Amino acid sequence: MRLVLPALDINPSNPYEKDVLKGRQELGETLISLVKNFEDPLTISINAGWGEGKSTFLRMWEADLKNESAKVVMFDAFLHDYQEDIFTSFIGAISAELEPLTRLSKEKKSFVVAGKKVLKVATKIGLGVGLRVLSANAVGSECMQSAIEEAKINSGELVDHFINESLENYKTSDQAIKHFKEALKKLSEKLKSETGYPLVVIVDELDRCRPNYAVELLEKIKHFFDVDNVVFVLGVNKQQLKHSICSVYGNIDANEYLQKFISLEFGLTKTKKDFSGKGYDAYVAYLFNGHGFKGEHHDSLKELCASAGLTPREMNHLFMQLALCVVGRGENEEFMWLYSLLCVLKIKDFELYQKAQSENLTLSDLEKNSNILCYLQKNKRVYEFWKYVLSGEVAEGTDYSSLCNRIGIWSSDEVVPQFCEWIDKFVLPSK
């Protein structure tokens, strides 16, 4: 079995073939039209919560763009989170993507040389502070003075020499940024004329990064890469990103701050109304098979997810919790119907779950939940088992007491709280 599913294998010739959530291709085509037909320096955010398919969509869209001969740089922000210098990481990623294009060797070389000039000026007062000074033309001289004062505090007399030198070379730093942007513009214009598409940089996993890194990345994109025919597409959890911004800058209006950097925002499908039918069935099958479950419970789980109205994120959580319970307890899947309904209560109706923990849950409580009642009425065997564990009612031809005895439970009223205890031993991190 698997606790965490591997990344979906994307078919380059048919990127959306395995789009079990559906609707992604339409969004992808809309984005392609935007980046192809606008020359503006755009920063587009794809906003969705954890487990709702941002990374998968971005990988599908990357393949779709490459099928159109566009040049796409995929930048995993979390993989570079340990690095102090984001600027160098971007230059390296762009240069590597353009490496095969010998016809762009002149423009690419100029771009890399210009980037090195920016870094050369920055290193005179230290990369961390230096890049802030270099972007002072975009954020104001106050930021430059703040950076210099910071350097004084942190480095003492030793850095005074570098501070004086940075002030003397302030005009040089302006020229370095101007030269870099000009080189980047020539490169992006050449790409647009050759391919019909701008340079597209996809930044994924931004919301998983350290707050300082995430915020600095946004600022570097704005200050250094704000050039025609360069498009950034960010995969973000906007709510988490807003927390990062407030962590860095304190109690500010994070929405207003983001408006300075993000041109357009799109959300992914996540409502039950949009996520239904064959797409819902396919996603359950994907999770069921991907985690390595076997046996007869697929259809029952599908009906439970649909009846409870679970979102893709909640379904991910449910199947991970079930995998933990089955493997952690060293059991087969014969108690899946009990684990699964309790896990759904924990996700969707925690008040009922607390009653289950404390031996106060009744059959009437379950039946008052219309979604749960709908599921039970469609699954006679499951309904009979819950009648046994909550009211002691034994259906004709069943022997649930022997089933429970095999795992050391001797009374029907002990079953539910005992299974809650086992579920609660494996606590998944909240996202």
**Domain match, 312 and 403 both:** yes
Task: With beta carbons less than 8 A apart as the criterion, state whether 121 and 165 touch.
Answer: no
Least confident of 5-9, 303-307, 414-418: 5-9
Q: What is the pLDDT of residues 175-197, one digit of tens each?
A: 778 888 888 888 899 889 989 99
Q: What is the pLDDT of residues 259-292, one digit of tens each?
A: 999 999 998 865 444 555 666 788 888 899 889 8
**Domain match, 411 and 283 both:** yes
**Domain match, 282 and 199 both:** no
**Domain match, 300 and 358 both:** yes
- Residue 107 covered by a domain: yes
Amino acid type, 192: K
Helices (H), 274-379: 277-291, 298-308, 312-328, 336-348, 350-357, 363-368, 370-378
Q: Which residues make beta-bridge pairs with 199?
A: 230
**Domain match, 163 and 296 both:** no
pLDDT at 148 over 70: no
Q: What is the pLDDT of residues 349-381, one digit of tens each?
A: 999 999 999 989 999 999 999 999 999 999 888
Q: What is the pLDDT of residues 112-146, one digit of tens each?
A: 778 777 766 655 544 444 444 445 444 445 554 55
Angle between helices 160-168 and 170-195 (to 10 degrees): 60
Q: Measured between alpha carbons, how far is 119 from 117 in angstroms, rounded to an integer? A: 5
**CATH code (residue 130):** 3.40.50
Pair type for strands 72-76 and 199-204: parallel
Quote the percentage of the chain above a pLDDT of 70: 81
> Would you say the C-alpha torsion 428, 49, 79, 123 has a positive or negative sign?
negative
Q: Give me 129's structure tokens.
A: 């502070």
- Residue 35 covered by a domain: yes
**Domain match, 324 and 219 both:** no
Compute how many other C-beta atoms are within 10 angstroms of the C-beta atom of residue 295.
10
Which has the higher per-residue pLDDT, 249 or 4?
A: 249
